[in-house]
Structure 1
């Protein structure tokens, strides 16, 4: 199945996003909510598909695209989206290493509504998801939905093993969050000099005294990256664990544990460990009706993903110690996220 809908085929794109415009003659529900999309593209491979999604969104919510692309790419986007969304560059007067955070801060500041969805360019909400987020923001300060990949090429299947383990042991980190604008502005946004920006935003809201909702049942579709992009992100994603010591130590223990099992010539131990990891992933797959979006075979990816993370975590630690951080665009970022305790200063509490 192609990642991109054919240009101009609005009905097919709508069905791909879980909404059929012909459904009983129903009109789209316009919500008092702003959708902020921070963007930085080097080429326009997916422009037609994204434009179709933005057109669908614009019928339902206010849409702001904060575009940090090069001038020629920005100009093409401006032509494609003129009259459709609010398209603007990020405000770079406030310094920061993480361009996505700068884009989010710009978008939330100019948003016209209290309820704000923040989403990566590969996230695809449907009408049900938007409505659920809007209702939840009536009671909480931050909403953390659950992403799933569709379609599911081999590398998205592989990475779904991570998602299922996260669901079984706690909560996953999606490519979209939703916040109350008043809370975001009152806490001064969040640090633009960290790599794991979603964790930083979550921790900042918590430290400010905000209330978080983690609806494991709120599934929001995500397009998978291409295989080359996936491969290029492995160490960088492992670097995120430097902000979560328990996860990092677990990942670092994988290779020594594997070596010890091999040296002891106990294959049953390896098989038992792999079966245990699959069982954990299966528990995450079944949680909150996850079987509707996660195929049964995805639990089998968990041991492979864990082995990959075990290797990449050592490489991430090496980059921290030897290079001072991990590459991000044209710069290098040292910190994955600030410690939770650093975000609990008395001045940050309402």
Structure 2
């Protein structure tokens, strides 16, 4: 049985990637669901992808009419949504690996919502994947994590005129745009979808960029910026630092136990959370320095905007009288459904 849904994979590789493994994954996936890969890779790499991908995969370049904004992934998603053959759509990064049961449940939930947010976990655990898992567990303890995949209704997203390609934290921008339009979000914290870890080199390059995302969540940013001054100025005794570390581990363990997390997160996962907190205490200030220079480095340029607040998007929704280009995310019509309280 094939699902009446579309799987959109925005892709942009500038060098060799795990192409054979990705092609095998797509060969399985295309048996269950229509697949569209929107590929912004340079022409020689694009051609190599076209030869490697299974025949059932639709392989497209980004729409050249989508201009403005520095986030090419948004252009890829919007191109895929415009070309999609179904209203129910799964958007996933190139490192996300669905199995059929997770895909089926996501689409079942999407029948009741406009956007569904599952939970990613690392299928393999090199040191940096364990480190980053600490972040996921703390996010789960405080609410929900931000995965590299979402389920959306095509009609809802297109009714908003798209979402902003100037936003660095593009998944949060999409979530907030749908919610600002009145769409219903389901946070499926017990729907676990695997992803593959990046290289350690790429992980290290992402530290400041990911810290910059917190500019979209001012309360969180204030806490993260307060960590380093608290340690430097207060100069607490080692025993107090140890107690603080234990408190962080306990909080992460709460996230691990929440909504069935123990089925995918190992018993030692929470022990890595203090290392991530120390990293963020430093990288938050590096992100502030990046903002002072015009934004964080991304894809050869700089991006200033992390994401618009939901309040900002709702305000523009109230004022909007005509559709706008995809580069501007202001919602055009409200969508029926309840709104899950969240960040603003």
Normalising by structure 2, we get a TM-score of 0.91
| Structure 1 residue 269 displacement after superposition | 1.4
Pick the aligned partner of 2:115 from 138, 142, 146: 142
Shift, 1:197, TM fit:
0.1
Equivalent position SS for 2:188: coil
Q: Which residue of 2 aligns with 1:62?
A: 34
Counterpart contact for 2:27–2:54, Cα < 8 Å: no
Do the aligned partners of 2:249 and 2:274 also contact (CA within 8 Å) in 1? yes
Moved over 3 A (4+): none
- Aligned equivalent of 2:251: 280
Q: 1:315 aligns to what? A: 286
SS of the aligned residue for 2:189 comes to coil
Q: How many angstroms does 1:225 deviate by?
A: 0.3
Q: Does 1:113 align with 2:86?
A: yes
Show the counterpart of 1:334: 304
Structure 2 contact 38–77 (Cα < 8 Å) conserved: yes
Q: 2:14, 2:42 within 8 Å by CA — same for their partners in 1?
A: yes
Alignment-derived partner of residue 90 in structure 1: 62
Say if 2:255 and 2:261, in contact at 8 Å, map to a contact too.
yes
Which of 131, 135, 139 is residue 162 of structure 1 equivalent to? 135
Counterpart check, 1:255 vs 2:228: yes
Question: Which residue is 1:35 aligned to?
Answer: 7
Query: SS in structure 1 opposite 2:197?
Result: coil
Q: Secondary structure at the match of 1:255?
A: helix
Aligned-partner Cα distance in 2 for 1:337–1:188 = 16
Deviations 1:159-210 (A, max 9, x none): 0000000000111000001100110111111001110000000000010000
2: CA distance, partners of 1:271 / 1:329: 39
Q: Report the Cα distance in structure 2 between the residues aligned to 1:138 and 1:113, rounded to whole angstroms.
A: 13
Q: Within 1, Cα distance between the matches of 2:66 and 2:198?
A: 30
Secondary structure, counterpart of 1:215 in structure 2:
strand
Q: Separation in 2 of the partners of 1:289 and 1:32?
A: 29
Q: CA deviation at 1:260?
A: 3.5
Q: Which SS does the other structure have where 1:121 is aligned?
A: coil
| Aligned-partner Cα distance in 1 for 2:159–2:188 | 25
> 1:35, CA displacement in angstroms?
0.2
Structure 1 equivalent of residue 105 of structure 2: 132
Q: Distance in 1 between matches of 2:178 and 2:43?
A: 34
**Where does residue 3 of structure 1 map in the other structure?**
none
Q: Which residue of 2 aligns with 1:9?
A: none
Shift of 1:82: 5.5
Unaligned 5+ residue runs, structure 2? 321-330, 335-344
Structure 1's unaligned 5+ residue stretches are: 1-28
Kept in 1, the 8 Å contact 2:26–2:54? The answer is: no
Which of 193, 199, 206 is the equivalent residue of 1:233? Answer: 206
Tell me what 1:76 maps to: 48
Q: Which residue of 2 aligns with 1:324?
A: 294
Deviation, structure 1 residue 94: 2.0
Cα root mean square deviation, aligned: 1.0
Partners of 2:189 and 2:124 lie apart in 1 by 20
User: In structure 2, the residue corresponding to 1:145 is in which secondary structure?
Assistant: strand
The superposition leaves residues 222-243 of structure 1 with CA deviations (integer Å, 9 ceiling, x where unpaired) of: 0000100000000000000011
Q: Look up the SS of the partner of 1:217 in the other structure.
A: strand
1 or 2 for the larger relative contact order (CA 8 Å, sep ≥6)? Answer: 2
CA distance in 2, matches of 1:234, 1:58: 34
Give the Å deviation of 1:77: 0.7
Contact 1:92-1:102 at 8 Å conserved across structures: no
